[in-house]
Amino acid sequence: MKLKQFVLNKASNVSKELSTIIDRTTLDCISIAQLKLRLPWNVLLGNILKNNVCVVGDALHPMTPDLGQGGCSALEDSVVIAKCLGEALIKPITEQEDDEFMKIRKGLEKYAKERRWRSFTFISAAYLSGFIQESDNKIISFLRQQFLAGVTISVTLRIANFDCGRLTVS
């Protein structure tokens, strides 16, 4: 109830339609989650999988909104994880990998390896872009006014241009 009231207070200047949507939202539809930071080197040096469970999307590479790439990168993760799991599960059974659990684990290990540097790039680029935008430092402010828009567009386009590879159907 407190959260709903907080949002309604903040939304005092929004349109009637929007405030009605918030007002009509039932309490069981409102969720609150802690904000988390994953440091870039955490995905490089840490482990993103445990047994046969791993993370994708925002859980893998939470970022500030500066790149506008969170949803797209979650889709990339989905394609890559589907590819890695598909390839692992389709392999003929060997003596060492005689159960599905091991195959899934192998697939997830490949996925984690493939997405490591990409996730590092997302988190670092978003962090750097946010840092530059918020900095009060005079030199950074000058460089921001002169170059940031052009650099951000070219970096964002370069990051977005990514080939996830082909999905094997059979």
Ligand X SMILES: Cc1cc2nc3c(=O)[nH]c(=O)nc-3n(C[C@H](O)[C@H](O)[C@H](O)COP(=O)(O)OP(=O)(O)OC[C@H]3O[C@@H](n4cnc5c(N)ncnc54)[C@H](O)[C@@H]3O)c2cc1C
Residues at the interface with ligand X (CB under 6 A): 57-59, 65, 68-72, 74
Q: How far is the CB of 57 from ligand X (least distance, A)?
A: 2
| Identity of residue 150 | G
Q: How many beta carbons lie within 10 A of that of residue 139, not counting itself?
A: 8
Q: Which is nearer to ligand X, 106 or 126 (CB)?
A: 126
Q: What are phi and psi of 112, to 5 degrees?
A: -60, -40
CA distance 63 to 43: 13
Q: How far is the CB of 116 from ligand X (least distance, A)?
A: 17
Q: Which is nearer to ligand X, 103 or 119 (CB)?
A: 119
Q: Is 44 in contact with 123 (CB distance < 8 Å)?
A: no
Q: How far is the CB of 88 from ligand X (least distance, A)?
A: 22
Q: Which is nearer to ligand X, 79 or 102 (CB)?
A: 79
Handedness of CA 56, 58, 64, 65 (dihedral sign): positive
Tokens in use for 160? 């977005």
Q: Which is nearer to ligand X, 34 or 96 (CB)?
A: 34
Q: How far is the CB of 142 from ligand X (least distance, A)?
A: 28
